[in-house]
Amino acid sequence: MKKIIISLLAFYITAGASAQLQTGEDVAVTNTDAGKVRGYVHNSIYTYKGIPYAEAKRFESPQKPKPWSGVRSSLTYGPVAPLMVPTTTVQDESEFVFHHDWGYTSEDCMRLNVWTPGINDGKKRPVLFWIHGGGFTAGSSQELPSYDGENLAKKGDVVVVSINHRLNILGYLDLSAYGDKYKQSANLSIVDMVAALEWVKANAGNFGGDPNNVTIFGQSGGGAKVNTLMATPSAKGLFHKAVNQSGAFRTTLLEKSDTQLVGVEVLKALNIEPGQIDNIQKVAYADLVAAGNKALKIVGDKLKAEGKNLGAFGGLSWGPSRDGEFLPYQFTDPQAVELSKNIPLLIGTVKNEFMASLFSGMSNASADKVNDFLKNRYKDKTDAYIAAVKKAFPNDTKPTDLMDIDMMFRPGAVTQAKAKSSAGGAPVYMYLFAWQSPVLGGKYKALHCMEIPFVFNNIARCEEMTGGGKEAHALADKMSQSWINFAKTGNPNANGLPKWEPYTAEKGATMFFDNTSTIRYHHDKELLEVVAQP
């Protein structure tokens, strides 16, 4: 009996120790190519935050960070890219749901974070490289609690990396006409990501990761950046699988002739002569943003008058462009398709995304008010639209369900999945996240970003968004395992889910993630056709 008691005590002491936070001068120390870093261990996961992967002067290409002596403390998140509009107020209810961590800003924001089950142990774990959302203008690696990589690293015995990089005007102002120093300025945000992937290639082994098995994954703007990296020649070989979550909304890149016009207008607004271009590095960030906004409006109006498509959001905004060198191809060019032909792709959206009822204040609208809304939007196609929605989602019962089906992100994802599968090469897998959040009476449904806590197995961290119930935990267990399996093998099939077939244009297999997950085939084909009609 005494031996049993001693064994039980030893077990609980060991279990308790493994769940504790471990810190200290000699705890979680490992090498990088710039110097040693020190993190901490939490729940047996080695955690590092704010490690520099590059540095750069404003509008100049990233360089390797200057080496440091000694051991660099890496316990807290690093600076985030400045926002075009600083956060000074928030909406109470939505802030409760999303629970942002806005961080602190600096133009010197090229930092990354690592979560890993082991360091210097000779293991070669898959690396999941997370790219945050926020379009091309906002966001950070710490913005949402769902981005925390501890649970995913522990569940899958994988290494999770997340990054900050330059955004908005700092990441996309085209000054290439003004000297070699600025030749990559139109795409610096993406150049930064390549620099971060190069850091992973050089350093993953020190963090227990395999640089030859890297999966890039991102949501919203992060998904669009995944697409961009897939068409970036200098990124080839730095990643081996890709996941695009609600990010297939930009199908074409602006051309250099257009982005250089923006650069011209920015200099005009700042009263900087081309011969004094370096003065732009000294301009206050707020003044730079104001000049950028003015330039985007001027050039956007010009392009619109010429009949050019400015994308899903209707106006000219910051983002990557075809500069002829770093990004030489449009996404649909054969050369771009060939670059990522052998990269397995997991792609999907959430059912409600930017749901109309929430953003129009109609969460509890009656059937009559919903019909009025739909008639205003779809005119003589309203009856066909309603019939197609009911066919695609026959179990929906709430009047607002008719107006909340996403048609902003889903069409682009389908188009991309069809093109990828038809090109041959590696498979593509399609999903739709249909699970409905119970928070605040269910008004947030499957909102944009709702799937992220499930992917990262972070339901408990994100109770404000998910409710934290048993059903959410059960689905997160399956979804996170799908992402882990995809990172390991290129195949997302996982226990507890129906057999997930690769997507083809003919069959259109789509995994519906819900309390009972199912596979459906071209479920919304008629709806997509109705919405696509002029």
Residues marked active site are found at 220, 353, 448
- In the 3-class helix/strand/coil scheme, how is 206-237 assigned residue by residue? HHCEEEEEEEEEEECHHHHHHHHHHCCHHHEC
d(CA 444, CA 447): 6
Q: What is the CA radius of gyration of the chain?
A: 24
| Percent helix / strand / coil, the chain, rounded to 5 | 40, 15, 40
Residue 87, both tokens: 């956060």
Residue 232: partners with Cβ closer than 8 Å, 6 or more residues away: 190, 194, 326, 327, 339
Cα angle value 298/302/306 (rounded, 5°): 165
Between the CA of residue 335 and those of 126, 236, 388, what are the distances in Å? 28, 12, 37
Helix ranges (DSSP H) in 20-145: 92-98
d(CA 443, CA 366): 14
d(CA 269, CA 294): 8
d(CA 478, CA 435): 13
The DSSP code for 321 is: E
Residue with tokens 């996240």: 433
Residue 511, H or E segment: strand 509-513
Partner residues linked to 105 by β-bridges: 80
* Torsion region of 404: left, alpha or beta (phi above 0 gives left; psi -120 to 50 gives alpha): alpha
Partner residues linked to 131 by β-bridges: 218
Letter string b/e over residues 251-273, b meaning 16 or more CB atoms within 10 A of that residue's CB: bebbebebbbbbbbbbbebbebe
